[in-house]
Structure 1
Amino acid sequence: MARTRTRVRISHDLFRQVVDLPAVRATLARTAREVAARAQALARQENAEATISVEDGTRPKGRSYSRVVADDYADHEFGTAKRKRTRLLGRAAGTTNS
Protein backbone atom coordinates (compact mmCIF):
# COMPACT_ATOMS: atom_id res chain seq x y z
CA MET A 1 0.00 0.00 0.00
CA ALA A 2 1.40 3.38 -0.99
CA ARG A 3 2.00 5.94 1.71
CA THR A 4 0.53 9.37 1.35
CA ARG A 5 1.68 12.48 3.07
CA THR A 6 -0.72 14.77 4.78
CA ARG A 7 0.21 18.40 5.05
CA VAL A 8 -1.44 20.40 7.79
CA ARG A 9 -1.37 24.17 7.65
CA ILE A 10 -2.44 26.37 10.51
CA SER A 11 -2.96 30.07 10.47
CA HIS A 12 -0.67 32.48 12.26
CA ASP A 13 -3.54 33.40 14.59
CA LEU A 14 -4.18 29.78 15.54
CA PHE A 15 -0.45 29.27 16.17
CA ARG A 16 -0.45 32.30 18.50
CA GLN A 17 -3.45 30.93 20.39
CA VAL A 18 -1.82 27.53 20.81
CA VAL A 19 1.55 28.80 22.03
CA ASP A 20 -0.22 31.02 24.53
CA LEU A 21 -2.10 28.14 26.16
CA PRO A 22 -1.33 27.56 29.85
CA ALA A 23 -0.42 23.93 29.08
CA VAL A 24 2.20 25.03 26.54
CA ARG A 25 3.68 27.58 28.97
CA ALA A 26 3.74 24.93 31.72
CA THR A 27 5.52 22.46 29.43
CA LEU A 28 8.14 25.05 28.48
CA ALA A 29 8.74 25.87 32.16
CA ARG A 30 8.90 22.21 33.18
CA THR A 31 11.41 21.39 30.45
CA ALA A 32 13.57 24.38 31.40
CA ARG A 33 13.52 23.35 35.08
CA GLU A 34 14.60 19.81 34.11
CA VAL A 35 17.51 21.16 32.03
CA ALA A 36 18.48 23.52 34.87
CA ALA A 37 18.51 20.64 37.35
CA ARG A 38 20.74 18.56 35.05
CA ALA A 39 23.09 21.54 34.57
CA GLN A 40 23.29 22.11 38.33
CA ALA A 41 24.06 18.41 38.87
CA LEU A 42 26.84 18.60 36.27
CA ALA A 43 28.23 21.71 37.95
CA ARG A 44 28.35 19.93 41.33
CA GLN A 45 29.89 16.85 39.72
CA GLU A 46 32.68 18.92 38.18
CA ASN A 47 33.15 21.30 41.12
CA ALA A 48 32.22 24.19 38.84
CA GLU A 49 30.88 27.24 40.62
CA ALA A 50 27.81 28.22 38.63
CA THR A 51 24.54 29.88 39.41
CA ILE A 52 21.91 28.39 37.13
CA SER A 53 18.35 29.68 36.91
CA VAL A 54 15.27 29.69 34.69
CA GLU A 55 13.78 32.82 33.13
CA ASP A 56 10.21 32.79 31.82
CA GLY A 57 8.69 35.50 29.70
CA THR A 58 7.04 36.59 26.49
CA ARG A 59 8.92 37.80 23.44
CA PRO A 60 7.94 41.16 21.93
CA LYS A 61 5.78 39.52 19.27
CA GLY A 62 3.91 37.46 21.87
CA ARG A 63 5.62 34.05 21.88
CA SER A 64 6.29 32.68 25.35
CA TYR A 65 9.64 31.24 26.38
CA SER A 66 11.47 29.63 29.27
CA ARG A 67 15.25 29.74 29.15
CA VAL A 68 17.98 28.31 31.32
CA VAL A 69 20.71 30.81 32.15
CA ALA A 70 24.02 30.54 33.96
CA ASP A 71 26.24 33.25 35.34
CA ASP A 72 29.41 33.57 33.27
CA TYR A 73 27.71 31.58 30.52
CA ALA A 74 30.50 31.98 27.96
CA ASP A 75 33.18 31.01 30.48
CA HIS A 76 31.39 27.75 31.34
CA GLU A 77 30.39 26.82 27.82
CA PHE A 78 33.59 27.74 25.99
CA GLY A 79 36.26 28.03 28.70
CA THR A 80 38.89 30.68 29.30
CA ALA A 81 42.59 30.73 30.02
CA LYS A 82 41.69 30.25 33.69
CA ARG A 83 38.54 28.11 33.47
CA LYS A 84 38.13 24.70 31.84
CA ARG A 85 35.41 24.35 29.22
CA THR A 86 32.51 22.54 30.91
CA ARG A 87 29.56 23.03 28.52
CA LEU A 88 27.17 22.76 31.48
CA LEU A 89 24.12 24.09 29.65
CA GLY A 90 24.85 22.41 26.34
CA ARG A 91 25.31 18.98 27.89
CA ALA A 92 22.31 19.43 30.17
CA ALA A 93 20.16 20.34 27.16
CA GLY A 94 21.44 17.31 25.26
CA THR A 95 23.17 19.10 22.40
CA THR A 96 25.76 16.99 20.60
CA ASN A 97 28.58 19.49 20.03
CA SER A 98 31.28 18.52 22.51
Structure 2
Amino acid sequence: MKEYFSIGETARLNNISIQTLRYYDKIGIFKPQCTDRDNGYRYYHVKQFFYLDIIKYLKYIKTPLEEIKRIISHTCTPELMQTFLEEQENVIEREMERLERA
Protein backbone atom coordinates (compact mmCIF):
# COMPACT_ATOMS: atom_id res chain seq x y z
CA MET A 1 0.00 0.00 0.00
CA LYS A 2 1.15 3.49 -0.79
CA GLU A 3 2.34 5.49 2.25
CA TYR A 4 3.08 8.97 0.86
CA PHE A 5 0.67 11.16 -1.05
CA SER A 6 1.14 14.40 -2.93
CA ILE A 7 -0.81 17.46 -1.88
CA GLY A 8 -3.28 16.89 -4.73
CA GLU A 9 -3.83 13.27 -3.77
CA THR A 10 -4.19 14.20 -0.11
CA ALA A 11 -6.73 16.88 -1.00
CA ARG A 12 -8.76 14.49 -3.14
CA LEU A 13 -8.69 11.61 -0.67
CA ASN A 14 -9.71 13.85 2.24
CA ASN A 15 -12.19 16.09 0.45
CA ILE A 16 -10.29 19.29 1.22
CA SER A 17 -8.84 21.91 -1.09
CA ILE A 18 -5.17 22.18 -1.99
CA GLN A 19 -5.31 25.83 -0.95
CA THR A 20 -6.53 24.83 2.50
CA LEU A 21 -3.67 22.34 2.88
CA ARG A 22 -1.18 25.00 1.85
CA TYR A 23 -2.70 27.44 4.34
CA TYR A 24 -2.61 24.86 7.16
CA ASP A 25 1.06 24.27 6.35
CA LYS A 26 1.76 28.02 6.37
CA ILE A 27 0.17 28.58 9.79
CA GLY A 28 1.59 25.37 11.26
CA ILE A 29 -1.59 23.41 11.84
CA PHE A 30 -0.98 20.56 9.40
CA LYS A 31 2.46 20.24 7.89
CA PRO A 32 3.49 17.68 5.28
CA GLN A 33 5.63 14.78 6.44
CA CYS A 34 8.28 15.84 3.94
CA THR A 35 8.89 18.43 1.25
CA ASP A 36 11.02 17.81 -1.83
CA ARG A 37 14.00 20.18 -1.66
CA ASP A 38 14.29 20.45 -5.43
CA ASN A 39 10.72 21.29 -6.41
CA GLY A 40 9.00 22.17 -3.10
CA TYR A 41 6.33 19.48 -3.51
CA ARG A 42 4.62 18.49 -0.29
CA TYR A 43 4.12 14.84 0.63
CA TYR A 44 1.82 13.61 3.38
CA HIS A 45 2.06 10.22 5.11
CA VAL A 46 -1.11 8.15 5.29
CA LYS A 47 -0.87 8.18 9.11
CA GLN A 48 -1.33 11.98 9.03
CA PHE A 49 -4.83 11.64 7.62
CA PHE A 50 -6.07 10.91 11.15
CA TYR A 51 -5.06 14.43 12.20
CA LEU A 52 -6.67 15.92 9.13
CA ASP A 53 -9.93 14.22 10.13
CA ILE A 54 -9.65 15.81 13.57
CA ILE A 55 -9.00 19.23 12.05
CA LYS A 56 -11.98 18.91 9.71
CA TYR A 57 -14.24 17.86 12.59
CA LEU A 58 -13.07 20.75 14.77
CA LYS A 59 -13.65 23.18 11.90
CA TYR A 60 -17.13 21.71 11.46
CA ILE A 61 -17.99 22.52 15.07
CA LYS A 62 -16.61 26.04 14.50
CA THR A 63 -13.42 25.74 16.55
CA PRO A 64 -11.04 28.67 15.84
CA LEU A 65 -7.84 27.76 14.00
CA GLU A 66 -5.63 28.89 16.90
CA GLU A 67 -7.51 26.53 19.20
CA ILE A 68 -7.19 23.72 16.66
CA LYS A 69 -3.46 24.36 16.47
CA ARG A 70 -3.18 24.06 20.25
CA ILE A 71 -5.32 20.93 20.37
CA ILE A 72 -3.44 18.95 17.74
CA SER A 73 0.03 20.10 18.74
CA HIS A 74 2.35 17.44 20.01
CA THR A 75 2.09 18.91 23.52
CA CYS A 76 -1.62 18.15 23.66
CA THR A 77 -2.25 14.80 25.30
CA PRO A 78 -5.15 12.51 24.39
CA GLU A 79 -6.64 13.33 27.80
CA LEU A 80 -6.61 17.08 27.04
CA MET A 81 -8.16 16.42 23.64
CA GLN A 82 -10.90 14.34 25.24
CA THR A 83 -11.60 17.09 27.78
CA PHE A 84 -11.81 19.67 25.01
CA LEU A 85 -14.17 17.51 22.96
CA GLU A 86 -16.40 16.94 25.99
CA GLU A 87 -16.55 20.71 26.53
CA GLN A 88 -17.45 21.19 22.89
CA GLU A 89 -20.18 18.58 23.22
CA ASN A 90 -21.66 20.59 26.09
CA VAL A 91 -21.51 23.79 24.03
CA ILE A 92 -23.29 22.09 21.14
CA GLU A 93 -25.96 20.64 23.42
CA ARG A 94 -26.62 24.07 24.96
CA GLU A 95 -26.87 25.61 21.49
CA MET A 96 -29.32 22.90 20.38
CA GLU A 97 -31.45 23.56 23.46
CA ARG A 98 -31.39 27.29 22.74
CA LEU A 99 -32.47 26.69 19.13
CA GLU A 100 -35.27 24.34 20.21
CA ARG A 101 -36.60 27.01 22.59
CA ALA A 102 -36.50 29.60 19.83
Same fold (TM over 0.5): no
TM-score, normalised with respect to structure 2: 0.26
Query: By percentage of residues, which structure has more helix?
Result: 2
Q: TM-score, normalised by structure 1?
A: 0.27
